């Protein structure tokens, strides 16, 4: 190759490099801008309508026309729904995933379970809602906290399971071997794996909680909506996403403002649980081998 | 007794024939050193003996590997029982994600070897045996992974012994340690020979000379030569063993 | 004296072939059985959901031909016409806009985070994607109503109409209300951006350091190294990320519902209102019991969503395991 063509070639590579860096920074900058505008808008519009009553009272009779009260019903409802869903989902996901790394390791069955979880992860939550609703209609039941929990369980099960799966996968094979070399059964190995991946499991639980609390489509048909606090598993229950959605849908500016306040509350809740997840991952686990 | 006997034992990884027709008897209550160049199948041989080999995908074995008179690959054998009776000390120390105390107590607990009220003294005795007690007696309940590498390896030895194995397999168990710690572990292993059948893989020929009673020389998955250390080291019979001992190969 | 000699008189010597099951063996067997059935239950859930939807949707398909559902443009359930073409087209358009915007940007951002940033910069930038990824859809919807809809109405639609819209009528609409395919696409693109970015970054950081160093040692620039890590070693992971982003965009309900305008016709331009399958289900659940076949039509819409998501995921899985010989069981 002649010298100046080679120099030309170098220049072109350097140019491509710089161009790509520019593009990447631009992409990230755009995202940062969008995030900033999102947080700012929610904060500014939300703070205006935020009041103590919003957090501590249930809606008054004329709430959706601009009357008094708050959205305590939705806050409590969302927490109850998310908590129930996490509980149900982890009862299936944790043993299921441990199975995938002990008894079932490397089998075809486990490969199919992983694929199923990926499919479920991608499934629109409205599909889960519609399915549970159909079952409710068959059984002649009304919308209820329990039905909402079941729909949300389907939403968070794959998130919880796949995240936990990745965590357990990170457990060093040396630990598996060291444990088995002591003559343990696979059940005892599963318990050791659980121990080692506990912080990751906590992080996965918080991630799933965050997703459960923010999902409105799954509870739309299943949990219903009420102005009162839930008293039993079979009562309908309000939720924050739907509180936002319904209030924004009314023609009254005062009510719409409260939707922004509700959005702010939801955002703060999600951020707080996200923070817990982060802390769980980094601060927990005294005995965990790193 | 705890004699390990291999009859025409073979291992395949997929298509690769990793161990060929191994025919051996490892004497009980002696230290057997398995030596040979890298990749000749030493770890494979060791892992066959406690069936950790089962964890590899696509692995196949044939014919028999006996502990005393029982084939550990026979159908119906409980793998957990095999591994209880044949313990292992790995190359790198790897404490369980538990406290120091719980690491040593783990084996006795799962196998229910002692009444609970004796556990403290059992743990103390085992930690004393591996000369770790004085260093850790004030922090028994702190995480085991905070110990130094040499301390961790001694802990792993205590953990393996507290499960009361009859055979102890060591795969280059001193290779990842500093010379002082390595010597310490080596001395401990040497002192165990009266009570256990020890099988160790080592790259350190001087170490093998120091502590082995019996030697197995492996080459490309085959046993080239085996016999008492007192006979093998001064006068190896096979030309490959001579070259290996003279460090011309491997 | 020392316990080392205890081995001579061990307290137990478990038989290699147990003559009877011990307590631990029982535990192990029961654990095996229970955990395996939970793992099967996960597969069972998907099968059950599919079954329920097929049963319900089947009722409509018996009395109403599939082609009329897929290609019919009239959606008048009260008169018994269930043409769903507008919803299919709306869903596809919204998803396409979101993917076109988000995928390239997200992959570039993921590469930047993994290959170009120092650990400290990453510590600042990483929460950005995590924060966005955790934000609930309905909050994106609120943001869409407050920011994106006015932006489309007052800025993007007029500019597009005045420039590229002169050539492409599909991009020209001087009287856009803002509630449009474009607005939904923009909101969705911000929603799936962090998902794809985060997974891309994780996939790239899992690429062994040696591979990267080997490429650098040959004198490659950072971008050239990134091409190897991202489009060779990391490709399966990135494909999985894109599929997940697609699924999320395709089935998103509330966020889209709030900004897409919900007009059941095939949109003449990108800046016109439209309607999606998920929106159709969500908006009509209240009235569906009263009209015959209506519920079944909605379940058909749900089945369509399910079918697309399953075939996309299974398709990529087959591609990744068969063609690239990776993934699968491990
Ligand atoms: N999981 C596996 N899959 C396929 N082949 C393997 C596997 N493990 C080991 N091998 C092959 O089997 C042969 C023996 O390996 P082994 O680990 O037993 O050697 P080694 O003697 O312990 O070597 P070293 O001294 O380096 O530890 C090698 O050729 C190795 O490549
Ligand atoms: Mg080895």
Write the CB contacts of A19 (distance below 8 Å, at least 6 apart in sequence). Answer: none
Q: How far, in Å, from the CA of B177 to the mean position of ligand 2?
A: 16
User: Does the CB atom of residue B43 touch ligand 1 within 6 A?
Assistant: yes
**pLDDT for the residue numbered B167:** 92
Q: What percent of chain B has pLDDT over 70?
A: 100
Instruction: Specify whether C9 is located in the same domain as C123.
Output: no
Q: Are C271 and C177 in a shared domain?
A: yes
* Residues C87 and C280: beta-carbon distance below 8 Å: yes
Helix A3-49 vs helix A253-283: angle between axes, to the nearest 10 degrees?
Answer: 120
User: Per-residue pLDDT for C327 more than 70?
Assistant: no
With 60 as the cut, is the pLDDT of residue A1 above it?
Answer: no
> Tens digits of per-residue pLDDT, A154-171?
999 999 999 999 889 988
Q: Identify the weakest region by mean pLDDT among A194-198, A255-259, A277-281, C247-251.
A: A277-281
Nearest beta carbon to residue A177 from set B55, B106, B144: B55
User: Distance between terminal CA atoms of chain B?
Assistant: 34
**B60 in contact with ligand 1, CB cutoff 6 A:** no
| CB spacing of C2 vs B125 below 8 angstroms | yes
With CB atoms and an 8 Å threshold, state whether B82 touches A183: yes
Contacts of C197 (CB under 8 A, 6+ apart): A31, C106, C107, C109, C110, C113, C129
Residues of C in contact with B28 (CB under 8 A): none
| pLDDT band with cut points at 50, 70 and 90 for residue A208 | very high
- Nearest chain B residue to C21, by CA: B78
CB C175 within 8 A of CB C292: no
Range of the domain at C94: 74-323
**pTM reported for the whole predicted model:** 0.86
Whether A48 has its CB under 8 Å from any CB of chain C: the answer is no
Q: Is 60 exceeded by the pLDDT of residue C234? A: yes
Q: Are residues C206 and C270 in the same domain?
A: yes
Residue A228 CB-half CA count within 13 A:
6
Within 10 angstroms of residue B38's Cβ, the number of other Cβ atoms is 8
C115-171 pLDDT, tens digit each: 888 888 887 777 777 777 888 999 999 999 999 999 999 998 888 888 887 888 788
Instruction: Output the CATH code of domain A52-287.
Output: 1.10.3720.10
Inter-chain contacts counted by CB atoms under 8 A, chains A and C? 266
For residues B135 and B10, is the Cβ–Cβ distance under 8 A? no
Residue C69 lies in a domain: no
Q: What is the number of the ligand 1 atom nearest to the C-alpha of B14?
A: 4
Task: Please indicate, yes or no, whether residues C25 and C105 belong to a single structural domain of this protein.
Answer: no
Q: How far apart are CA C109 and CA C114, in angstroms?
A: 9
- Same domain, yes or no: C230 and C188: yes
DSSP class per residue in chain A: --HHHHHHHHHHHHHHHHHHHHHHHHHHHHHHHHHHHHHHHHHHHHHHH--HHHHH-PPPTTGGGT-S---HHHHHHHHHHHHHHHHHHHHHHHHHHHHHHTTTTT-HHHHHHHHHHHHHHHS-HHHHHHHHHHHHHHHTPPP-HHHHHHHHHHHHHHHHHHHHHHHHHTS-HHHHHHHHTTT--HHHHHHHHHHHTHHHHHHHHHHHHHHHHH--HHHHTTT---SS---STTS----HHHHHHHHHTSS-HHHHHHHHHHHHHHHHHHHHHHHHHHHHHHH--SS---
Distances (CA, A) of B249 to B223, B233, C6: 16, 16, 42
Residue C328 pLDDT greater than 50, yes or no: no
Tell me: do C100 and C224 sit in the same domain. Answer: yes
Bridge-based pairing of strands B4-13 and B16-26 is antiparallel
* CATH at residue C221: 1.10.3720.10
- Ligand 1 center to A60 CA (angstroms): 74
Domain co-membership, C141 together with C239: yes
Domain count, chain C: 2
| Domains of chain A, residue spans | 52-287
CA–CA min distance A175, chain B (Å): 7
User: Quick one: C92 and C196 in the same domain?
Assistant: yes
User: Looking at beta carbons, which residues of chain C come within 8 Å of A220?
Assistant: 253, 282, 285
The reported pLDDT for the residue numbered A60 is: 78
Measured CA angle at B174 (ends B169, B180), to 5 deg: 145
- The helix/strand/coil state of B154 is helix
Interchain contact, C111 vs A30, CB within 8 Å: no
Q: What's phi and psi for B217, nearest 5 deg?
A: -105, 120
pLDDT (average), residues B117-126: 91
Q: Which of B85, B125, B126 sits opposite C14 (nearest CB)?
A: B85
Asked if C222 and C284 sit in the same domain, the reply is yes
pLDDT per position as a tens digit, C24-46:
888 888 999 999 999 999 999 99
> Do C152 and C59 belong together in one domain?
no
Answer yes or no: do C97 and C23 share one domain.
no
Could you tell me if C306 and C249 lie in one domain? yes
Per DSSP, which regions of B68-107 are E strands?
70-71, 86-89
Instruction: Give the domain-ending residue among C10, C37, C63.
Output: C63
């Amino acid at each position: 190759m002649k010298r100046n063509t080679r120099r030309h070639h170098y220049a072109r590579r350097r140019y491509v490099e710089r161009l790509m860096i520019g593009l990447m920074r631009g992409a990230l900058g755009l995202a940062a801008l969008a995030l900033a505008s999102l947080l700012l808008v929610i904060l500014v519009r939300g703070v205006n309508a935020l009041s103590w009553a919003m957090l501590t009272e249930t809606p008054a009779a004329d709430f959706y026309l601009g009357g008094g009260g708050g959205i305590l019903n939705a806050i409590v409802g969302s927490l109850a729904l998310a908590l129930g869903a996490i509980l149900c989902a982890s009862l299936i996901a944790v043993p299921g995933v441990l199975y995938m790394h002990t008894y079932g390791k490397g089998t075809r069955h486990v490969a199919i379970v992983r694929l199923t979880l990926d499919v479920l992860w991608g499934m629109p939550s409205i599909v889960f809602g519609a399915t549970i609703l159909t079952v409710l209609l068959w059984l002649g039941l009304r919308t209820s906290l329990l039905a909402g929990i079941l729909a949300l369980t389907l939403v968070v099960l794959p998130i919880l399971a796949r995240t936990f799966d990745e965590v357990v996968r990170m457990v060093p094979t040396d630990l598996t071997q060291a444990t088995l070399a002591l003559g343990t059964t696979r059940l005892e190995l599963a318990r050791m794996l659980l121990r080692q991946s506990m912080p990751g499991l906590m992080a996965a639980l918080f991630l799933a909680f965050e997703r459960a609390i923010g999902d409105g489509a799954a509870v739309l048909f299943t949990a219903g909506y009420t102005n009162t606090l839930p008293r039993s598993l079979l009562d309908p229950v309000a939720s924050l996403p739907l509180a936002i959605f319904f209030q924004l849908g009314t023609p009254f500016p005062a009510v719409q403002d409260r939707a922004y306040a509700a959005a702010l509350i939801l955002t703060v809740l999600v951020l707080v649980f996200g923070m817990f997840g982060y802390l769980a991952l980094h601060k927990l686990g005294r005995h965990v081998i790193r | 007794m705890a004699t390990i006997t291999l009859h025409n034992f073979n291992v395949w990884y997929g298509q690769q024939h990793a161990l060929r027709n191994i025919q051996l008897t490892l004497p009980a209550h002696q230290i057997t050193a398995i030596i040979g160049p890298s990749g000749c199948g030493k770890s494979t041989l060791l892992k066959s003996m406690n069936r950790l080999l089962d964890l590899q995908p696509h692995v196949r074995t044939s014919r028999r590997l006996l502990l005393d008179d029982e084939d550990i690959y026979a159908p119906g054998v409980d793998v957990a029982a095999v591994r209880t009776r044949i313990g292992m000390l790995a190359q790198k120390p790897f404490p369980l994600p538990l406290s120091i105390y719980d690491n040593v107590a783990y084996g006795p607990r799962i196998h229910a070897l002692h009444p609970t009220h004796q556990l403290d003294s059992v743990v103390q005795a085992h930690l004393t045996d591996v000369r770790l007690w004085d260093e850790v007696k004030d922090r028994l309940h702190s995480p085991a992974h905070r110990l130094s590498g040499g301390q961790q390896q001694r802990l792993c030895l205590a953990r393996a012994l507290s499960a009361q194995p009859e055979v102890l397999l060591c795969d280059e168990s001193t290779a990842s340690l500093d010379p002082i710690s390595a010597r310490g572990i080596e001395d401990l292993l040497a002192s165990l020979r009266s009570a256990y059948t020890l099988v160790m893989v080592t790259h350190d020929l001087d170490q093998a000379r120091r502590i082995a009673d019996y030697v197995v020389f492996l080459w490309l998955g085959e046993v080239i030569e085996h016999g008492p250390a007192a006979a093998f080291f001064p006068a190896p019979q096979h030309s490959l063993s001579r070259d290996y001992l003279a460090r011309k190969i491997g | 004296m020392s316990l080392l000699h205890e081995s001579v008189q061990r307290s137990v010597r478990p038989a290699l072939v147990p003559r009877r099951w011990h307590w631990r063996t029982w535990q192990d067997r029961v654990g095996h059985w229970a955990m395996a059935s939970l793992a099967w239950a996960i597969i069972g859930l998907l099968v059950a959901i599919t079954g329920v939807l097929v049963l319900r949707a089947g009722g409509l398909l018996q009395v109403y031909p599939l082609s009329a559902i897929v290609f019919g443009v009239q959606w008048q359930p009260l008169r018994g016409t269930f043409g769903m073409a507008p919803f299919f087209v709306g869903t596809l358009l919204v998803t396409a806009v979101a993917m076109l915007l988000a995928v390239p940007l997200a992959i570039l951002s993921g590469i930047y985070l993994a290959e170009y940033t120092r650990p400290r910069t990453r510590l600042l930038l990483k929460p950005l994607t995590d924060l966005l990824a955790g934000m609930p859809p309905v909050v994106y919807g609120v943001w869409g109503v407050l920011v994106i809809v006015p932006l489309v109405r007052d800025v993007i639609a007029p500019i597009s109409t005045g420039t590229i819209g002169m050539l492409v009528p599909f991009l020209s609409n001087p009287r856009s209300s803002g509630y449009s395919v474009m607005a939904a696409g923009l909101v969705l693109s911000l929603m799936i951006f962090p998902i794809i970015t985060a997974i891309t970054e994780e996939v790239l950081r899992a690429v062994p350091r040696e591979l990267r160093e080997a490429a650098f040692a040959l004198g490659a620039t950072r971008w050239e190294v990134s091409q190897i890590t991202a489009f060779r070693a990391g490709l399966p992971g990135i494909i999985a990320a894109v599929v997940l982003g697609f699924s999320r965009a395709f089935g998103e309900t509330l966020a889209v519902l709030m900004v897409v305008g919900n007009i059941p016709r095939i949109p003449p331009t990108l800046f016109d209102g439209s309607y999606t399958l998920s929106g159709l289900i969500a908006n009509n659940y209240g009235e569906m019991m009263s009209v015959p076949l209506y519920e079944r039509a909605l379940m058909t819409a749900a089945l369509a969503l399910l079918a697309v998501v399953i075939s996309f995921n299974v398709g990529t899985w087959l591609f990744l395991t068969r063609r690239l010989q990776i993934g699968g069981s491990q």
